Chains A and B, each alone.
Chain A
Amino acid sequence: MKYKSQKVAYWFFALSMLLLSLQLIYGLIMGFAHAGMDGLHEWIPFNTAKAVHTNLLVVWLLSGFMGAAYYIIPEEAQHELVSVKLAYVQLISLAVVGVLAIIGYHFNIWEGRKFLEIPRGLDYLVVVNVLLFMGLILMTLWKGKRKTTTALVLTMGLLFAALLYLPGMIDFDSQVLDSFFRWWVVHLWVEGVWELIMGGILSFLLIKLTGVDREVIEKWLYVIVGLTFLSGILGTGHHYYYIGVNKIWLIVGGIFSALEPLAFLAMALFAVNMYRKGEKKHPNKTALLWTIGSAIVSFVGAGLLGFAHTLPQTNIYTHGTIVTAMHGHLSFWGAYAMIVFAIISYALPNMTGRKFYDTARGRMAFWISNIGMIGMTVAFGVAGVAQVYMERKMKVDFMSVQKDIEVHFWVLIIMAILFIVGITLYIIEFFKHGQPNDEALIE
């Protein structure tokens, strides 16, 4: 750590870990409900569990991205964060908004729009919160000594993500329009601007961990984010096939979304090649594992499993089934959860001075959580394919199919427990580092 103000990042990461733990509990509740055990129905009906599970995911990832930015931007810009105090205000208000939203979901206070359930009143608080965050980052960058491509791409991703929150706040009388613009947020986030955030963090980590020349890494960063937008913007069309808009989207969405895996492939090749090329390898093996892992698993989860159902001919059968949930898990995990874990693993030893670079617990956390998540993906996949075949091909009634696939949710639960063991190890390792301190400052 080179700048005192980077320490703020620690608290964003800690908030991430806390919300992640809660997210998993609600995932288990849904897993059990699918397996036929919905004993909590009266207090936590499925729609509450689902909104909490997905919103906590988004909030902990955002908290991780914000922590990443507070760590990376001062170092890249070579300037202390303009105001540490305001960064703490921002942290607390983020936690407050998140917690209020989650509590509200238990009392039927929400908007029925998948992923964007936060009620309107709180939306405004989100906007204020994000404005404060962006203000701090942009001011720091502005005053900084240098403006690197890595910092610019990361900041651009964060800024666009903030702007794209707005289309989700327009009210429509038509469900079709509602859905149409919901995708401007959800799709253009995960298959657009969040990839810039991921690319920025990845590039920062590769520069630090492999010792490859910044110019080389940043050149490929441009290629990657270029591929992302080139395919991802028009790729939004893959959500417009069957929601009541013009057929033109079948062609445009089909072609461009089929190209989206290229950006993820490029990311994987980029990470592996830079690793091979690097001569000054950093001793932080754990961070390296998560970094390369993220690039590879995101290609599988988003690239391959996304491609598997993105063509209109396939999507007409899989649209809105457990197949989608299968892809949703491995893609979010590989691309965004793992990159947050990577930056945490890199930053923690630097902020606390405890050099847990290559511990058995750290390695176990990586392998067990990944094996668990892959097992979960397989369980969802088998359940999903069976559902598509029986329900959509054989035209068997929805609920009788659900009964038939219950068993796969028991497999899901077992795999989820394995996954949770991995995550628990990661969180233990996190807190074993202790708190950030100024003795960890170097130079």
Chain B
Amino acid sequence: MLSKKQARAFFLVGTAVTFLIFIGLTVYSLGEAQDQTNRDQLSESAIRGKWLWDKNNCMGCHTLMGEGGYYAPELTKVVERRGDAYIKAALMSPVPWQPNGRKMVAYNMSEAEANDMVEFFKWIGNVDLNGFETIVSPLAKKNN
């Protein structure tokens, strides 16, 4: 039968080996050659947009790349789906935006801020998501 010493060795060796592989894969997949995000196209404006996304915790209701709250629509391809003007109207509205009865927080953003958000969504929209982008509704209608 297995002894306690062997059990401990299993724990230590298994952990060390998988940890090293994990670090190796992380370095590999975040390398320049593997980039799927067009990192060179990440503009100042898109970065400001990301900061606004963060500051307002938009992720508390919406998902982006499938992560966030399940209360409001997935925004990965929102620019393609709705266009700039619609998005800006929602963000700049001084009263809660609620096209279908469910309310969004009234962010009352400035035009410049709304533009930054759109730039951020455009950048996200071009990230290669290994096929997930074709599943997310309802844009996917035309892709399938």
* A-contact 0/1 string along B2-14, CB 8 Å cutoff: 1110011011001
Across the interface, do A320 and B66 meet the contact criterion of CB distance under 8 Å? yes
Q: How far is it, in angstroms, between the C-alpha of A179 and the C-alpha of B69 when the chains are bound?
A: 14
Across the interface, do B53 and A112 meet the contact criterion of CB distance under 8 Å? yes
Across the interface, do A316 and B132 meet the contact criterion of CB distance under 8 Å? yes
Across the interface, do B7 and A111 meet the contact criterion of CB distance under 8 Å? no
Chain A minimum-CB-distance residue to B36: A244
Contact with B4, one of A219, A225, A324 (Cβ below 8 angstroms): A219
Across the interface, do A230 and B14 meet the contact criterion of CB distance under 8 Å? yes
Across the interface, do A47 and B137 meet the contact criterion of CB distance under 8 Å? no
Across the interface, do B68 and A243 meet the contact criterion of CB distance under 8 Å? no
Within 8 A of B (CB), among A176-227: 176-180, 215, 218-220, 222-223, 225-227
Across the interface, do A41 and B96 meet the contact criterion of CB distance under 8 Å? yes
Question: Which of the segments A247-255, A268-276, A282-290, A410-418 contacts the partner chain?
Answer: A247-255
Q: Which has the most chain B C-beta neighbours within 10 Å: A229, A246, A249?
A: A246
* A-contact 0/1 string along B87-107, CB 8 Å cutoff: 000000000100111110100
Contact with B69, one of A47, A215, A397 (Cβ below 8 angstroms): A47
Chain A minimum-CB-distance residue to B123: A175
Contact with B30, one of A45, A177, A316 (Cβ below 8 angstroms): A177
User: With A112-B58, A113-B54 given, is the CB distance from A242 to B8 under 8 Å?
Assistant: no
- Tell yes or no: A392 within 8 A of B by CB: yes
- Tell yes or no: A110 within 8 A of B by CB: yes
Across the interface, do A47 and B60 meet the contact criterion of CB distance under 8 Å? yes
Q: Which residues of A contact B54 (CB under 8 A)?
A: 111-113
Q: How far is it, in angstroms, between the C-alpha of A388 and the C-alpha of B19 when the chains are bound?
A: 34
Q: Which residues of A contact B129 (CB under 8 A)?
A: 242-244
- Tell yes or no: A234 within 8 A of B by CB: yes
Q: Which residues of A contact B4 (CB under 8 A)?
A: 149, 215, 218-219, 222
Least Cβ distance of B119 to chain A in Å?
Answer: 12
Across the interface, do B14 and A229 meet the contact criterion of CB distance under 8 Å? yes
- Tell yes or no: A442 within 8 A of B by CB: no
Q: Which residues of A contact B58 (CB under 8 A)?
A: 47, 112
Q: Which residues of A contact B130 (CB under 8 A)?
A: 241-242, 247, 250
User: With A222-B4, A392-B137, A402-B102 given, is the CB distance from A174 to B42 under 8 Å?
Assistant: yes
Across the interface, do A38 and B103 meet the contact criterion of CB distance under 8 Å? yes
Number of A-B contacts (CB under 8 A): 199
User: With A225-B11, A226-B14 given, is the CB distance from A395 to B100 under 8 Å?
Assistant: no
* A-contact 0/1 string along B21-35, CB 8 Å cutoff: 110010011100010
Q: Which residues of A contact B25 (CB under 8 A)?
A: 234, 237, 248-249, 252
Least Cβ distance of A287 to chain B in Å?
Answer: 26
- Tell yes or no: A80 within 8 A of B by CB: no
Across the interface, do A110 and B57 meet the contact criterion of CB distance under 8 Å? yes
Contact with A219, one of B7, B96, B124 (Cβ below 8 angstroms): B7
Q: How far is it, in angstroms, between the C-alpha of A403 and the C-alpha of B101 when the chains are bound?
A: 10
Q: Which residues of A contact B59 (CB under 8 A)?
A: 47, 112-114
* A-contact 0/1 string along B123-144, CB 8 Å cutoff: 0100111111001111011001
Across the interface, do A229 and B34 meet the contact criterion of CB distance under 8 Å? no
Q: How far is it, in angstroms, between the C-alpha of A208 and the C-alpha of B13 when the chains are bound?
A: 30
Q: Which residues of A contact B29 (CB under 8 A)?
A: 240, 245-246, 248-249
Across the interface, do B138 and A398 meet the contact criterion of CB distance under 8 Å? yes
Query: How many chain-B residues does the 8 Å CB contact rule pick out?
Result: 67
Q: How far is it, in angstroms, between the C-alpha of A222 and the C-alpha of B13 when the chains are bound?
A: 12
Across the interface, do A233 and B70 meet the contact criterion of CB distance under 8 Å? no
Across the interface, do A230 and B65 meet the contact criterion of CB distance under 8 Å? no
Across the interface, do A117 and B57 meet the contact criterion of CB distance under 8 Å? yes
User: With A50-B60, A215-B4, A236-B22 given, is the CB distance from A230 to B15 under 8 Å?
Assistant: yes
- Tell yes or no: A307 within 8 A of B by CB: no
* B-contact 0/1 string along A309-329, CB 8 Å cutoff: 000000011011110110000
Across the interface, do A219 and B3 meet the contact criterion of CB distance under 8 Å? yes
Least Cβ distance of B3 to chain A in Å?
Answer: 7
Chain A minimum-CB-distance residue to B132: A242
Q: Which residues of A contact B55 (CB under 8 A)?
A: 108, 111-112
Least Cβ distance of A149 to chain B in Å?
Answer: 8
Across the interface, do A38 and B102 meet the contact criterion of CB distance under 8 Å? yes
Q: Which residues of A contact B65 (CB under 8 A)?
A: 175-176, 179, 242-244, 320
Q: Could you list some 13 contacts between A and B, CB below 8 A?
A: A38-B103, A110-B57, A112-B56, A114-B67, A174-B39, A229-B15, A234-B21, A242-B132, A243-B65, A243-B66, A320-B70, A398-B73, A402-B102
B residues adjacent to A (C-beta < 8 A):
2-4, 7-8, 10-11, 14-15, 18-19, 21-22, 25, 28-30, 34, 36-37, 39, 42, 47, 50, 53-61, 63-74, 96, 99-103, 105, 120, 124, 127-132, 135-138, 140-141, 144
Cβ-closest 6 pairs across A and B: A47-B60, A320-B66, A242-B132, A222-B7, A226-B11, A112-B57
In addition to A215-B4, A392-B135, 20 A-B residue pairs with Cβ atoms within 8 Å of each other are A45-B60, A45-B105, A46-B71, A47-B57, A50-B60, A112-B60, A174-B39, A175-B65, A222-B8, A226-B11, A233-B18, A241-B130, A245-B29, A256-B18, A324-B70, A391-B137, A391-B138, A395-B141, A398-B72, A398-B137
